[in-house]
Chains A and B, each alone.
Chain A
Amino acid sequence: MLAAKAIDGKLSRWRSFVPIKYFASLPAFERPISAHEDLTSGANALMGSFSDTVCGRNDAMEAENFKNQGVNDFTSLVKYRNDEDIRRPSPWNGQKAVASSYCFPNRVHDMLYMPLRNFSSQSSATSFTDVKTRFLGSIPKFVKIVEVGPRDGLQNEKAIVPTAVKVDLIKMLVSSGLSVIEATSFVSPKWVPQLADAKDVLEAIQSVQGAKFPVLTPNLKGFAAAVAAGAKEVAIFAAASESFSRSNINCSIKDSLYRYREVAHAARNSSIPVRGYISCVVGCPVEGAVSPLQVVYVAKALLDMGCTEISLGDTIGVGTPGTVVPMLEAVLEVVPVEKLAVHFHDTYGQALSNILVSLQMGIRTVDSAVSGLGGCPYAKGASGNVATEDVVYMLNGLGVKTNVDLEKVILAGDFICKHLGRSPGSKVAKALSRIPENASKL
């Protein structure tokens, strides 16, 4: 299983990625932190190491200053940090927030995106190092976010969204840095009228660079239509629960796998990568709890038929770390971790903690939907997909690279929510939005 077996807790991770001779040329904040061996334990050490992370850029001089002057000068450090940072213009930058005199400065987010790897509590107690290695050692350095808003999010909307709006949304998402965006689905318009314009959407985004646009193809017919429209990546959708498979796609798991084998075969012939989804990996609305073994079976089948990535979906959002961890452990026995993705729903508010434990287990791909688009089809009005903004916020706080610009994702979310006429499903977006929801309440 994936584990960063630390030769020495701090340096091995770096050694595996960077040849020693390049150490000196690394940006300061990415250098190994062995320089601070001299710090003694206790509050001093903590302050010192904290100042390093706060600076982010590990400016040793500034750190010294801070340590010597004590905490009262922390605010001056904050100012220093912000001046040198380049802030992209955004609606809420510098704005006196929200009719309250306590304007929450945006700069705090920079402060708080501490590259966790650099943090070392120089306290001599080894238990702290153990703790960090145990909890954070396996968290990947880079996490790929697969944006499913335009497909999984919009497909549950009652009101048909115009093609132009969908295309604009996709373009905005691409500009935020998301590298994989599920564009649409080639299913029968009878089942999902929202995505009847799949062909038009795909053709409109053919020219958009910088992102991959997988599309859902439930059968050969859909696959052929997708390829004709210019799809370069497809996705297939199996269920770990027999009852859900029957009720959702009208056939048993075995039959659906047989059908997908055909699609995968055709995709292989056209050199088109295939992503596999497994739904109901923790619980099923009909059957109840789903055994990890069922998920293992389907995952292995999808892997064997050639899927490049398998996304494990907690369709009704009932998973908690207590059920997610055993499920992941089971699947990790048969599927290599780099081929796994997690797709949690936030119906019970558990998505972010589930994502956290998945990261701790080494998973490095997370599915999410901008602004939490896409309610739960089994509990109307309840939330569904986890919001991309919230995920990016958490990953930023963990020091994990995503290449996603949070502000631009929030803009994309605002755009689609304005069109749909509803408030954002993302708490981060709500907290940072310029238009307060309940301005009169407080």
Chain B
Amino acid sequence: MSSLEEPISLDRLPSLSNIDHHRFSSTACRPRGEDLGMGYRWIEGRSCSTSNSCEEDFEEYNRENFMWWKQRRGTSRRGISNGRTLSLGRNQVPNGNISDSLYLPDDQYNSCNYNYTMDMPNKLLRDIPKYVKIVEVGPRDGLQNEKNIVPTSIKVELIRKLVSSGLAVIEATSFVSPKWVPQLSDAKEVMEAVKNLEGTRLPVLTPNLKGFEAAIAAGAKEIAVFASASESFSKSNINCSIEESLTRYRAVTHAAQKLSIPVRGYVSCVIGCPVEGAVPPSKVAYVAKELYDMGCFEISLGDTIGVGTLGTVLPMLEAVMVVVPVEKLAVHFHDTYGQSLPNILVSLQMGISTVDSSVSGLGGCPYAKGASGNVATEDVVYMLNGLGIKTNVDLGKLLLAGEFINKHLGRQSGSKTAIAFSRKTADASKI
């Protein structure tokens, strides 16, 4: 497809402030001495004979510049990109049915080392964290909505593939009553099969002490609890009021603390509730604070029905950031209305550095059938790569994991990035 295999990194572009814009107008013809800026190589002494000569000059300049860029590219292959994306090479793809051209464009377009804190002091991107932790919730939040029971071996294989892609935290399963979530009734088996996987944390959901004990017995080393910011949702989802659920979780966290097991807290319906409507940020702040005080090391704010936009996300984040430090916050947006990526971007701009997502967008919205639910990890990683944020996630391997589970579920990927990459190989002849 393309001969370029290296991203043109921005710090190697001539500084734009050195451009004489007058040059490109129809009246300017000769380069002036003061136009010579960093990296420019004007062709000296060229005279303008026709009114089109400026374009000719520019073409020449452009050509020269491209030569210069190409040279730079050639010399610093390894140094430019993050090593992980360069690792997507011919000899790295485990099964041969995904061609290399699948991944090269990824390198070109988004694995650039745009170092925004230094080279690009644009106020919009200045304070974005340099490193973002992605919490993968596909095996739990994603699969739990599937009607057809996924065999334990497939779940374990999915988790293994996700681990190999570099994800730091993968929510493995949930120790809830099989009566409520039959899909995850094999929690014990899954946990026992994956507990020894190195390099990744594998939290599990534990709604009460019984679940907690089962989780510990199966080998869990990290747990999560799930509260709601909306009273009605709490009653309908876990059959008790917010206060009752918090009391329950206090018992769980207390037991966890005794065993030095970290606890992650989820708050659902942080923007809107399917029953109540909009949820006040103060309520979210209250629940987040309660979870934080009882000992959760991280609070994940979930927009359960995906209705959030900047206008509602910002006030909510502001409210919560008053009571919980930003480094302990995570965001868990749903893509039901396609708004999750802008919401994630805004959260990053506010300083949040942990994002929940689900491989291939697994997990539909239980409240709007057929609508999408979780945001797809591939799309999030694509955006973060483009922003120059480190994630330590190998997009290629992630795509493989997504493909694996979709093949089993017999459906198309919920991630636009995955579809685009898979289509590109299929249609390379179009270009």
Contact = CB atoms under 8 A, between A and B. Distances in A.
Contacts of B312: 112, 114, 397
Nearest to A320: B386
A348 B420 contact: yes
B59 interface: yes
Interface string B88-109: 0000000000000000010011
B336 A427 contact: yes
B305 interface: yes
B124 interface: yes
A431 B69 CA distance: 46
Interface string B323-337: 000000000000111
Residue of B108, B311, B388, B417 most packed against chain A (CB within 10 A): B311
Interface stretch (B163-171, B256-264, B359-367): B359-367
A398 B367 contact: no
A116 B310 CA distance: 9
Contact of B416 (A105, A112, A134, A346): A346
B145 interface: yes
A344 B314 CA distance: 24
Interface in B330-347: 335-339, 341-342, 344-346
A244 B346 CA distance: 33
Given A50-B315, A108-B277, A329-B122, A442 B364 contact: yes
Interface string A47-58: 101110110000
Interface stretch (B2-10, B209-217, B244-252): B2-10
A97 B368 contact: yes
B430 interface: yes
Contact of B322 (A42, A254, A294, A355): A42
Interface stretch (A14-22, A158-166, A376-384): A376-384
B124 A357 contact: yes
B416 A347 contact: yes
A376 B346 contact: no
A254 B55 contact: yes
Nearest to B366: A442
A393 interface: yes
Interface residues of B, number: 106
Q: Which of A51, A289, A319, A347: most chain B CB closer than 10 A?
A: A289
B112 A323 contact: yes
Contacts of B59: 254
A265 interface: no
B341 A132 contact: no
Given A54-B278, A112-B272, A356 B383 contact: no
A102 B346 CA distance: 29
B109 A426 contact: no
B149 interface: no
Contacts of A325: 120, 122, 124-125
A125 B421 CA distance: 45
B203 interface: no
A98 to B, nearest CB: 5
Contact of B346 (A75, A258, A293, A356): A356
B13 interface: yes
Interface in B341-375: 341-342, 344-346, 349-350, 364-372
A321 B345 contact: yes
10 contacts: A51-B280, A100-B366, A112-B278, A291-B65, A349-B417, A396-B309, A427-B371, A430-B368, A431-B365, A442-B145
Q: Which 7 A-B pairs have the closest CB atoms?
A: A397-B309, A320-B386, A437-B370, A288-B4, A427-B338, A349-B416, A436-B369
Interface of B: 1-5, 7-8, 10, 13-14, 16, 19, 21, 24-26, 52, 55, 58-59, 62, 65, 69, 105, 108-110, 112, 114, 116, 120, 122-125, 145-147, 236, 271-272, 274-278, 280-283, 285-286, 305-312, 314-315, 318-319, 322, 335-339, 341-342, 344-346, 349-350, 364-372, 376, 379, 382-383, 385-388, 415-417, 419-421, 423-424, 426-427, 430-431
